[in-house]
Structure 1
Amino acid sequence: MQQAIEEGFILDVLTNYTPYKVAWQLQHPGQDYDGPGEVDESTAVKALVRYVRLHPTNISQKAKIVVDHFRTFVAPLLDGKAKAMVVTGSRKEAVRWKKYLDRYLDDDHIAGIKSLVAFSGTVDDPEDVGDGLTEKTQNPDLWTSDLAEAFRPSVYNVMIVAEKFQTGFDQPRLVAMYVDKKLGGVQAVQTLSRLNRTHPGKDKTFVLDFVNEPEAILDAFLPYYGQATLTATTDPNLAYDLKSKLEAAGIYDWTEVERAYDAALTGGPNANSALTAATAPAVDRFTKRWQQAFVDDDGAAADELKLFKSDAGGFVKFYDFVSQARNLEDTDLPRLHFFLRRILPQLSTATFEEPVDVSQVSLTGYSITKGDALKLTLEQGPGLDPITAIGSGAIHEKHRSALEEIIEKLNERFGDKYGKGVVAGTMSNIVFNLAHDETLASQAMANTPQQFSESPALPKAFMDAVLSVNDNTPQIIVDIFNDEALFAELSRALPAMLYEHLHARS
């Protein structure tokens, strides 16, 4: 990347990066809650965050920022033909972005900006935009079904995407990207690199990020900037180990794998029906076993099925990686790779997850704050680590807590009692200080989560970390110490977050 930038083949897309901070507050009438007294915490958090991300206030405020920035900084470039992309987190978010961005353009009578929305399949959004939504219904004025082709002329200059066009999309007049999606690793590099194409008169790019931290984006780019080297080699035999593990699950029979692969190779008018006949039994077994586990409240059986799905996805990704460097066509691996890739989208557990009712939740506070524009400086980064293990995941026991308690936690993190972003910043600083305690780091690597939580070094380290931020945010620290329940909650939650952070970092 460094050589390509220096020689003018591509642009450095991190020279003008602006992060935004979003704060929000929720309210829920706990005494009127019609759902169960306790709900699954991770499911509830996801439901609440999804509620905020899809909320009209959240999207309309961000859409206003996008339009105003585009008009001021992007539209005048490239003789008025510069373009931008909005990267959203889901297809439903994409169609709502289209609705509220266009509404702002209409309400303020803003000319010169016309948007496209790109997503696959059909989206149902009965609460807001409507049902049966497709690219055709949401882009009614298009003369072609190829959105990449429709985006080439200067008629359309803002493309809203959900998964589509984040990789492999070549539009040299793309100057700005507005990111409303969590990005990490190579996905962050691939997504932002849509901006790096050169074009006559194009000497700058803009990234406005509503979700990611600048440090995380920089860390994602660093391994690819200079000379990219592997720190060690990847063992292709890991694929065979995982193949054996997958077969032991009893979801598919090898004759079904071979029939599916042969049907794809043979082709012809009956290929699709033959493929379906070969893959349907495995999907049916998985679905029935999941339904039974749900009916029986058999957590162990459900965990096994979730691990199978995770392992299958890991196998597909690993094969994609290793097959680029080694010929595996004379093995059974490409057959299994094809079969798993075919059935994975159909192995759904979402239908039977415990639902969380958020219909009575209301958004009572919202703010979005612009950070300083940054130049994320690239330099020679660390080597690329090989794949050392696949299929080694485990299903962690989920924490359960009252929905009102979860909302309170989120409000403590994202609320604005002490000023915009101050609570979240204080918690981050405490965890940051804990994460740089060498004693805790070594203990986290050598112990289980339970053993780590019982470490005698934790209480003192936690106290020191809290006191270390006292000068910056004294009122918050006073409140923490004066509230015994709050202090106990943080002293339990932060070490758990720390343990996960240390393992992820390693």
Structure 2
Amino acid sequence: MVLDLRAKLDANGYYDDFEVERVAKIETDPSATQARLSSAMAPVADRLLKRYRAAQLARADALGSGDEPVAQAQKDIMDALQLFKGDMGAYVRLYAFLSQMIDYGNTDIEKRFIFYKRLIPLLEFGRERETVDLSKVVLTHHTLRSAGRQPMNLRDDGKGDYRLPPMDAMGTGDVQEKERALLREIIEKVNGLFAGQLTDGDQLQYVNGALREKMLENPTLIEQSASNSKEQFANSPDLREALTHAIMDALEAHTMMSSQALGSERIREGLLDILLGPAQLYEGLRAQATGADAASRDPG
């Protein structure tokens, strides 16, 4: 169940391995400072809070204009983010309980536990501030030690064997079927673009996480998506330049894939096809443009 939750959370593409590693390294470093932890957590939380706020504003704008399909699409984004937060909480609770009895033998599982535990308090969806409220992030250090094997006499009479009923599946629910279908389509299209031993999760985080998130922050692309059709937007030279910059920015965290993408126009064109298709980059940029426009009209 821990592994299933980890796969489900990774598949959302809301963070990448580099961000998890950075937080875990700071958390377990005796010489780390509060400022380092805050600077590591702020970009992740800020990105997710802005995504929720943009969807919230876009939904309100769509409801005001009677555009039900757009309003529902934005609500799906908000629901998915709430679901993501709930699933992180389920992971933290399940890991904290089972780690008392199980040696997972995999540090990536504990690193995510540390990362999720730090991220959850920062995601106050619906109560966003101008800046991320980092007052709930307080640097502490922890140690793990073996207390040996302890008897667990669960029966009152201390006799016989008593088996606990197994846990049911954890998590707050399934991601919407439409979103799962889009994620599957991304994986199918990315497969074959890159050489080397890469998991579906690696490729999904790279395209739907690192590249898409970076391009969603590009003000030029946001502006162009608001004033052009998707076909016109796809032919923008700024789009290809933004992809190259995103690939270069992701080089440290995703060295193998970024190096291959920088050296191959075929891969870059394939990535653009995925970003404009199942990754819904254009739709995400349009939502941000709509949200920004709604915010500028909001006197609050």
Superposition TM-score, scaled by structure 1 size = 0.24
Superposition TM-score, scaled by structure 2 size = 0.40
Higher helix share: 2
Higher RCO structure (Cα 8 Å, ≥6 apart) = 2
Higher strand share: 1
